[in-house]
Amino acid sequence: MVVNLAELEQGSTLALAVLVRWLRQTPKAQGLQFKAVPEKMMKIIQACHLQDDLQLIG
């Protein structure tokens, strides 16, 4: 499943917490990928060292 974040207006820590929660609740077989991650959220992801945990696609 691919989640397109292009329309996300605020890439906050709260929004990132929701994405991490989704990731934890998604069975591994389905796979959960995120695309069009806003720049602000990407900076938070990198600061928290989550880029290896989240499947980010261009």
- Condensed to tens digits (0 to 9), the pLDDT of residues 4-42 reads 999 998 889 999 999 999 888 887 757 889 999 999 999
Does residue 47 sit in helix, strand or coil? helix
- pTM exceeds 0.95, yes or no: no
DSSP string, 6-46: TT-S---HHHHHHHHHHHHHS-TTT--EEES--HHHHHHHH
What ranges do the domains of the chain cover? 2-57
CB 34 within 8 A of CB 3: yes
d(C-alpha 12, C-alpha 15), whole Å: 5
Tell me the sheet residues that pair with 28.
none
